Structure 1
Amino acid sequence: MKKMFDCIDSQDLDGFLEHLADDAVFRFGNWPSMKGKEAIRAGTLGFYSQIQSLRHEMTGEWITGNVTIIEFDSFYKRHDGVIVNVPCCVVLRFNAERLIEDYRININLGPVFAETPEPHLVAA
């Protein structure tokens, strides 16, 4: 999973999509689900345009059968240079080929886009 998240953090969209099944379903926070690599590509590009950069630090991982749950501290650098840290939990379901068929990011992005993020969420 580290390789995939390195692709996400470096905004290597093609590298990220290599880990997904062609008909994967992707839900990011409370945004509508996207289905298929082209929809996921478009949605991810749209999100990348709203931030300068991002970085994930894994804080926990649980695997059971075809499901992997990963906990992160996610750091988003906004276009104004402020870095906001928000916790995140990702639930991944894999198909028989070990490609992700269902990808759910559970996160509250409100602090990232708030005019003035809460001080405890801003990275030092």
Structure 2
Amino acid sequence: MSGNAVLRVFRSVDSFDPDEFGRLLAEDATLVFGNAEPLVGREAIVAGIREFYSTIGGLRHRVVRTWQVDADIIAETEVTYQRLDGKDASAVAVSIWRTRDDGLISDYRIFVDLAPIYAV
């Protein structure tokens, strides 16, 4: 997966359109966000992302660095979240995903501390 493919993944997330991200996923993909229960299947993942998006006003990723080991991508990003109160909050995130031979993502994991996004 090239750097362009990594950017495509984060552009789809930053589009704030869960269906856009869903098009990158295998039908039987899994997603684990932090310590939440895994979401299994494209439909469940898209629904989970839609629910998460309802708690924020938007987001954008800046890729700091990436690594690729065989079919696995590791990306360190700085994420700026727009809170529902209009303020911005930033966090460092690490995303790890596995891409199948057909280019679809089969497993996606996100490690980030969202506390600043929801702090009062």
Other-structure match for 1:3: 8
TM-score by length of 1: 0.89
Alignment of 1:70 with 2:78, yes or no, is no
How big is the alpha-carbon RMSD for the aligned residues of Structure 1 and Structure 2?
Answer: 0.9
Alignment of 1:53 with 2:58, yes or no, is yes
Q: Which amino acid aligns with 2:57?
A: Q
- Displacement of 1:55 after TM fit? 0.4
From 7, 29, 32, the counterpart of 2:34 = 29
SS in 1 for 2:86: coil
Runs of 5+ unmatched residues, structure 1: 116-124
- 2:91 and 2:113 in contact (8 A); partners too: yes
Larger Rg: 1
From 15, 22, 25, the counterpart of 1:20 = 25
Residue deviations 1:38-68, cap 9 Å, x none? 1001100100000001000000000010100
Aligned pair count? 115
TM-score by length of 2: 0.91
Runs of 5+ unmatched residues, structure 2: 1-5
Q: Which amino acid aligns with 1:101?
A: S
- 2:21 and 2:46 in contact (8 A); partners too: no
- Displacement of 1:5 after TM fit? 1.3
- 1:29 and 1:109 in contact (8 A); partners too: no
Q: Which amino acid aligns with 1:80?
A: D
